[in-house]
Amino acid sequence: MKLRVLHIVEGTSVDGPGLRTSIYLAGCNHHCPGCHNPGSWDRQGGEDRTLDELMQVIAYNEAPVTLSGGDPLLQPQGVQELVCRVKRELGYNVWCYTGYTWEEIVADPVLLGAVREVDVVVEGPFLEAQRDTTLRFCGSRNQRLIDVQRSLDVSDPILWNQ
């Protein structure tokens, strides 16, 4: 299986707590006005990378993982498999950024499958009118950091506690 990857940033601290390996995936349908990465919208951007290649990079960096983009949930099957492998083989914390809201994710079995083993989902479209540079790990006040496992346990969105 392959994922369409725009860029990998090793040792970043802006896409979640601590030093992380951030994998930016190609494609986004949300097209949020004011998006900081509109070059990521093209589904054909970047290059195909096998899950084995990505696992090698992740293992080499010995760091938690963040999936961003674009919107990783446009490649749900590959994301699901990668997250499962990261959790099973390496035991690393995984974050996923998406323009979908938590409510949209849980209403769609494919999207929910992609994030079922993720630790934190940073959800919601970027809203330029709610832009806030003081927020940690998100860009606008409408976005939430959802603790996925706790939320699934209670069937209600639970915010991640920093």
Q: Phi-psi bin for 18: left (phi > 0), alpha (psi -120 to 50), beta?
A: left
Q: Are 143 and 126 in contact (CB under 8 A)?
A: yes
pLDDT(162) > 80 = no
- The model carries a pTM of 0.96
pLDDT digits (tens, 9 = 90+) for 88-110: 999 999 999 999 999 999 999 99
Rounded mean pLDDT of the chain? 95
Alpha-carbon gap, residue 100 to 130, rounded angstroms? 16
Domains by residue range for the chain, with CATH: 2-154 (3.20.20.70)
pLDDT digits (tens, 9 = 90+) for 104-135: 999 999 999 999 999 999 999 999 999 999 99
Q: Which residues contact 20 (CB under 8 A, 6 or more apart)?
A: 11, 12, 13, 63, 64, 65, 66, 95
